[in-house]
Structure 1
């Protein structure tokens, strides 16, 4: 009789055979270490999701440490599968998110913003575009919890201006109501990915 090997995927990740699971599948080392912010954005995300910590698979949670140099930015992005709760440990951050397109065409999307200080908590609802900017003159550190072991991330500028192949320039000039030279310029930029 031939043996049958069953592979189970949960949220796109393979569930490990329970006979091969070890304590290391539930352990992550290093969230006490500052991320390297010497990049064009001045920020570094250290994610701890199912990709870094296999033991999170099926648990519906993940987290991240985000470090910011003075005036560092975490680009406008969205998590398609998670709500995010942020806790400021050090520094001063200007944060915000934008609501979904309203049903009424006469109503604009609403921006919710707050300036946060150590000990403050802010929530970014699932799927909404959000950002964080260090408005202080010192480094900032935050920890974020997310309601998915595999929250995903879509960086808005990268998705629009750095797709492969590129989005048709006629689509983008009409969508953004700008000249084709502006779109070509934006498509020619190096867009920095966040983790």
Structure 2
């Protein structure tokens, strides 16, 4: 059994998910192979991804692909791009209807093993605070981490989550679109065409 198969069959959080407002069953969405050159490390799948079984099949994915300058056929090419969130399942909604955070047990169980299976990654794209904390060991907030993007480039780029909820953040921080995104797109192109 491959590591992807093990993750697909994981049911560690079944009781936790059954107790959420959504009362759903686990549906891990592992999306990686050892040949991937680009790693997109995110937070956790949303409800649409839970239903589709494919990462970033939502408006956040549209925005992220635009940020990367990557068409869907490249973004979903398992031989080139690994998409590894901090939790492989949709964590559910709380009583108020907001996304729950990624369960730590998922990352603790799987993340180090997945990273060990990705020896050819040349570019890490870290999306959101949970990915920043795991991969960089930072305790800084998202804004501070993204403002310091040059400290991690060219092999790592730190991004806010591409959710519509962050549209206000993007408006308040125009430097992100002016400075970070052109550098990110250039690096993605370089890595994928090398």
Compare the two structures and name the one with the higher strand fraction. Answer: 1
Fold shared per TM-score above 0.5: no
Structure with the bigger percentage of helix: 2
Query: TM-score scaled to structure 2, two decimals?
Result: 0.24
- Provide TM-score, normalisation by structure 1: 0.24
* Structure with max Cα Rg: 1
